[in-house]
Structure 1
Amino acid sequence: MNSLRLRILFPLWLFGFLPAMGATRIMGQPLEWFFGINGVLLGGGVFLAAYLVAGWLLKPTTAVMKGTTAVLRGVPPDAQSAEWLPADFWKLRCDINMIFAKQRQALNAAEQHACQTAQRLLNAERLLREAFTALQGLFAASDEGVLVVDAQGAIIASNSKLDDFLGKPVEEIAGRDSKRILSALIDRFEEKAVITAWIEKTSASLEGQAETPPLVSHDNRVFSLRSSPMRTDAGEVIGRIWIVKDRSEMRVLENQLRESQKMGTIGQLAGGIAHDFNNLLTAIRGNLTLAELTPASNQAGVRDKLQNANHATTRAAELVKSLLGYSRRSTGAAVRKAMNLKRLLADVQNLLKHSIDPRVTIQMRGGMDASYATGDATQIEQVMLNLCLNARDALPADKGVIEIAVENVTHRKPSKAAENNETAEFVMLVVRDNGHGISEEHRQRIFEPFFTTKSGSKGTGLGLSTAQDIVREHGGWIEFDSELGRGSEFRVFLPRLLNPEQVEEESPIDNGPAINAPVGSQTTILVVDDEAPVRSIAMNMLGFLGYRVLEASDGQQALDILLRTQEKVDAVLLDIYMPKLSGRDTFKELRAVGNDVPVVVCSGFVIDPDEFTILSQGRTPPVDIMLKPYSLDGLSKALAKAVQKPQTDARAFELSDNRAPQQPTMLVS
């Protein structure tokens, strides 16, 4: 405050002294007068007056400053300051104090909030570290190979399972280039074209999760590839996840489940088939008995009875052939071949008519065009039987109708994207009934595993679930419509094969009258079969054809004849299932010692031709495969082909109807 007073004092003293000097000059006094005692006294008086005036002028300013300070500090002013300040000033003091109080409260709240926020950030950071550690653990411990790629195609992360699948660490194969990794993935599979097309289509799509059907790798393991885009909360795609899953063990379990369900279906069919089979056996036995009782002079009557027995035998063979063909087990991956779906439905109808109440009408309807698809015929037959047996269980007590139909259609592929209008050619298999229908509450659950509305003795709830899985693996889907009291309609869609090059057809029962001419007694056939009646029939047939016949009751006896005697054998009719030494082991040992005698394999069970090609160890494979029961004409053709075939010819054997090698489906009698 003193410095301020001095700043005011000097201008006041100067403005006071200068007028005094001017007045002195006007009065006629010289300037030296100011430098004498009078001037000094006058200057001192002016200085004192200026000092007093400066103090008086600073009184209000000092009071305002002290009052302001008191207001800011929140303390009452002293009495001296209060005299110079108006009363409204102190009202302002109250308002300012209130403002400052609120500011202090806000500041305290802000400080408290900041402390809480800092603590929450610390907790969030800790939780984030824990979550990241857990995710890293899950990522590393996952049974699936995982690849995370950003929107630019750079690899963000991968796990050790993917390294194991590829055989090398991802960094060594591709660095951060996802295209090179996907190319390495493609090289691991057999069907490279299929997986390449799927990856290209999936990479360009912004839809949800997509998954391939099971794919076989070079080491014969089964995998599936799954992918889905990564999106922000706003829906922006920021990358993509690729997942490789080993389905080998799951595939085995699925096959076991399907076989279990298939055996359940056979159990439902067995009663009716056994009934019809007994009827056929009765017809065979009765006709043979009547033929024995017919006088020898009545040759026409005997021939008629034998023809009736032969016809019943053919029908029995067809019936058992259908059942065994359906029940054959697959040894791993499905046998995918071109299949004639009209013929397949005919086989289904043949099985059904022997196992469903005769009062039920079974109708079959098909279009004029051929209907082919690629797949496992046994699995598709299982699908249709499941649907038909479900229809049977829903039928009314009388006037039940099951309609089976096949039709070629052009249909839009099912997709989650509404704008997808892509169409393709499909074969539609239909099972329609006039049963009680499916209630609304059950329609959403009918494909769930183990869900059933039947009693425990009639169903396990696996039929429709298994059917849906099979159809999906074949690239198709199942639709259905149902109305209570009016019945249901199930539609199975399978991708249509427009130009089949090789179609799996069932070889008919060989029962024609044509018989090759005898080849003479110089040709020797060795019949190897452990069943004496079957061996006797084969020997009698071959003897009738003019062959010289030798017999062996097991594989070891056959080897003794072929390798340790001087008997010249031109061909061997070899059974498969025998004691001591099976037909497979007998054939393998023959080829192992260099014996290339022509062999015709004969069995009542399904035989895989490729198996015997492997057993031949690069030498001559079997000439033919015959399935019991065989006819005289079929035996004649097979043996004629065997004895005429050069022993040095190591070409793949042909089937008796001159078709390309494939798995036969004729049955044991």
Structure 2
Amino acid sequence: MNSLRVRLLLPLILFGWLPALGAAKLMGNNLDWFFSSWGFVLLAGVFLGSYLISGWALKPVAAVMNATASVMRGVPPTKEVSDWLPQDFWKLRCDINMLFAKHRQSLNAAETHASQTSQRLLNAERLVREAFTALQGIFAASDEGVAVVDANGSIIASNAKLDDFLGAPLEEMSGRGVKQLMEAIANRFMEKDRMMQWIANTEANPQLRDEVEAETRDTQQRVFSVRTAPMQTETGDVIGRLWMVRDCSEVRGLKKQLRESQKLGTIGQLAGGIAHDFNNMLTAIRGNLTLAELNPGTSGNADVRDKLQSANQATQRAADLVKQLLGYSRRGNGSQLRKVTNLKKLLADVQSLLRHSVDPRVTVRIRAGMDASFALADATQLEQVVLNLCINARDALPASEGIIEIGIENVMHRSPQGGDTAEFAMIAVRDNGSGIPEDMRHRIFEPFFTSKDAGRGTGLGLSMAQDIVREHGGWIEFDTVEGQGTEFRIFLPRAQDPENIEEDVQSFDPRSMAGSAGQRGTILVVDDEAPVRAIAVNMLSFLGYRVLEAGDGQQALDIVLRSGEKIDALLLDIYMPKLSGRDTFKQLRAAGNDVPIVVCSGFVIDPDEFTILSEGRCPPVDIMLKPYSLDGLSKSMAKAVKTAHAPDTFSRQMTPPGSAPLSGPTPVMAA
């Protein structure tokens, strides 16, 4: 305000002084008069008048400016200022205040929005940083070697796995150029030219996605796959390319194992079919041999009787071999075939078999303690395990003075799974062979892994041995020293009750079982194989049963449900055309008939399956595996007939009301 007053004061003094100067000139005064005391008084009067005029003139302006400043600050003007303001200023003041209020509101909203935006940006930055850290961690921890190439052919990112594949850091091998990288990758493979041609094809086609596998140049000859794919925007523009290198040696090995497994599965199915047919033939052979032994003409000829017994023992050995084929065919887990087994006798049988499998110069010794050793086991499977270990020991023996020692001992041991110390039967197989190399020891139980020459092993022996022992509740351990030999130890839970061991076939006299025809009851034999059926009929007739025959399941249903015959028990085969043994059993139980049934088959059968098929009614009395012996058949059928004569069972096996009369074939009475 003072500067404005000064600017106004100077013109006022000038306009006041010049008229005074003109008036003095007209009055005849000279210029010296102005420098006299009167001139100074006149100048002071002009200055005072100009000062007063300027103050008066600027007072409204000062009032407006003060009022405007008050409006700007939101403070009402003073009374002195208000007196100089026009009435319309108050309306202007209200408009200005409203304008400033809206402005302040907009500023506050903008400040709040800016604060929220800033917070969102901070959160977004944090999320981007976390996502980048996670992606960087995934990128670094990837099992694949990865290189990211931009559109200009420069490598913008790579991970440590790629450095491991190249054998040195990427910067040292190829810098950051994609061409140098591709050449370094191609140099790692045996077929470098083919890899370079493939790389050139990808460069010629920016949209190409492709993968190639090849073996590396190193001594291990591992297999790596190289994949490439373009990086594209949403519009489809290519902005770079990914190159990925992955070790697929293990996958290729697994594929090879799968092919071998499928091949073995096919062999297993074939083995199962052969085993079924072979068991039927063995049943006929064994049954005829047994009946020949019972012939009065041979009872007085000791030489013939001994030969028949030898043939019978051979059929038993053949049956055991067939059970091994059934194990390969996976027709059952074999748990229903486990019995209390004398392990000392089992090792003696293994020693007898080894005489024909090893060089006569190899010494095979049995070392057994004084205590008896029993285990609940499938003797055939356990024999297979010990034989596998002995055959492996044989292949590792030196050219001369080879020794295989088989030992058995009862020990107190803790299971690898933990728990209290318990009693185990330990079977040890030792040899003085070459031992197992250090780098192979962790793989010897892998399926299809073998250190033998091509054609000498499938790599399944130890794997199957371990599976069988585990199924029996045990485990296998081994110790080995290169150049000195190996010892495998099989631990099996020890059985305390040896009374359930079946007696040998030679220990019973079949003539004591003979009886008069029909004396013991009526048996229906159901089998589609006529020779097998005839053997069962002859054996049961010799044992004193009245025997009926049926060639299939439908004929058996007609005889049991609609013929009116009183059937004490059924000997039912499983695999038959037209109507299988399973369907026959299921329909009998569904019809309310609880006639006791003994199931027999050339395959291993799961008892739980028939428990389900019985639908809450009577399950099979027994399950027999072909070829069955006269002793086994006698025990099973005696048990079935005893069940049939029980009062609660007899009432349930009567023909249901409303059954139609027999319309099928007439039952056949065995001679």
TM range (shorter): 0.3 to 0.5
Relative to the length of structure 2, the TM-score reads: 0.47
Larger Rg: 2
